Amino acid sequence: MVEKKKLSVVIPMYNEEESIGPLFDRLFPVLEGLDLDYEVVCVNDGSKDKTLEILEAELKRRPNLVVVNLARNFGQHAAVMAGFAESSGQWVITMDADLQNPPEEIPKLVEEFKKGHDLVGTIRKGRQDSRFRKLASRITNRIVSRISGISLQDFGCMLRGYSREVVNGILQNPEYRTFIPALATFFARNPVEIYVRHEERSAGQSKYSLLKLFSLQLDLMTGFSMWPLRILFFVGSFMAVFGLVTACLILALRLYYGPGWAAEGVFTLFAALFFLVGCQFFALGLLGEYIGRIFQAVRKRPTYILGWIKKAEMVEGKGA
Ligand code: UDP
Ligand code: MG
C-alpha cells in the first residue's frame, strides 16, 4: 500500500474564542473526508481572551490537534511561521480562524498539490470585506506586484497551500518581519493560483486596525524591494541635472545680455540652489542604497519566541 501523504493545516489565532467552535465543526469533517493523514496546528498569538483555554480543552477531544502557544502577540505572519516550524505534513495549508476562508475549499487546494504544484495561491471570489479594505487591497496588490516583481493577483487571501520544500525554504529564511505569501513565491518551483470562496467573518472583529494594516503594507514593501529607496536616488539625480542645465542656461544668457539681465545674481542663486538640493537628494539616495543592502544582509532575526507546544494525547492509538 502506498503511504498516505500528510496534510498540515496551520491556523493563527488572536482573540478568536468565538470562532474556534464553528471553525473546528466545519474543518475536521472536511479533513476526515480527504483520505490523507492530517494535523491541525493552531497557533495562539498571545490572545487576551479565552482562545487558549478553549484550545487546551479541544486537545482532549481532538486527535491530530497541535497547539502552539506564543509568549505574546507577534502578528499573523510570525504566528504562521511558528505553525510552519511545528508542522510535519508534506503539504501545508494556512487559513484564517474566522471562517472567512471556508474549510470546504481545502480539497480544491489538495487537488492542486496532487497535480504536482508546490505553491497554491488563491484569489478571493466574491470577497466579503468592507469597500475600503477591498480598495486598499487592490491598490496594494498592484503596487506590490509592480515593485517586487512578484506576479500574484491576490496577496491577501491566507487560504494557501505550500509544499514541505517551500515551507522549509521559508523557515530557513527567518526574517524579522515578513509577508509569507510573497516570500513563498521565491521558493516555489511550480506555483498556481486558483479561485476560492470568501465569506464574512463569522464572529468577533477584524484584528487589523488601520495602523496594523498600514504597517503590514510597509513590511511587504520594504521587505521585498528597494525601490522606495531608489526613488530618492532618481529624484536627486533628476534635480541635480536640472539644476546644472539651468545654471548653464543662465550663464549663457548672462554672457549674452550682460550683467543687467540676471537680476543682480538672483537667478544664478536659484540655479546653484537647485543643483545643491539635487546633490543632497542624490547623496541621500546613495546612502539609502547602502542602508538597503545592510538591511538585506541583517534580516536574520528570529521571528518569534516560543511559549510552549502541546500535542493531543489520545488513549487509543491514532491508527498506525
Ligand atoms: N491574527 C493573528 N495575530 C494578529 C492578528 C491576526 O494571529 O496579530 C490572526 C487572526 O486570528 C485570524 C487571521 O490572523 O485568524 C486573520 O486576521 P483577521 O481575520 O482579523 O484579518 P482580516 O480578515 O481582517 O484581514
Ligand atoms: Mg478575517
Q: List, for residues 270-317, the tens digit of each pLDDT value.
A: 778 878 888 888 888 888 888 877 877 776 644 555 667 888 877 665
CA 261 – CA 33 distance, rounded (Å): 87
Number of domains in the chain: 2
Do 288 and 201 reside in the same domain of the chain? Answer: no
Domain extent, residue 285, equals: 227-299
User: How would you label 133-172 residue by residue, b for 16+ Cβ within 10 Å and e otherwise?
Assistant: beebbeebbeebeeebebebebbbbbbbbbbbebbebbee
Do 176 and 273 reside in the same domain of the chain? Answer: no
Q: Which atom of ligand 1 is nearest to the CA of 80?
A: 7
* pLDDT at 200 exceeding the cut of 50: yes
* pLDDT at 147 exceeding the cut of 70: no
Q: Which amino acid residue places its CA nearest to atom 19 of ligand 1?
A: 206
Do 217 and 250 reside in the same domain of the chain? Answer: no
Q: Which amino acid residue places its CA nearest to atom 13 of ligand 1?
A: 96
Question: Nearest-5° angle of CA 115, CA 199, CA 220?
Answer: 70
Do 231 and 220 reside in the same domain of the chain? Answer: no
* Last residue in a domain, options 168, 189, 224: 224
**Test site for ligand 1: of 45, 49, 76, most ligand atoms within 8 A of the Cβ:** 76
Do 152 and 253 reside in the same domain of the chain? Answer: no
> Are 150 and 182 within 8 A, CB to CB?
yes
143 Cα to the center of ligand 1, angstroms: 22
CATH assignment at residue 175: 3.90.550.10
* pLDDT at 214 exceeding the cut of 90: no
Do 138 and 259 reside in the same domain of the chain? Answer: no
Show the ligand 1 pocket: residues with CB < 6 angstroms: 12-14, 16, 45, 73, 75-76, 79, 96-98, 100, 201, 206-208
Do 210 and 260 reside in the same domain of the chain? Answer: no
The pTM assigned to this predicted structure is 0.75
196 Cα to the center of ligand 2, angstroms: 14
Please give the average per-residue pLDDT across 14-18, as a whole number.
94
318 phi, psi to nearest 5 deg:
-85, 10
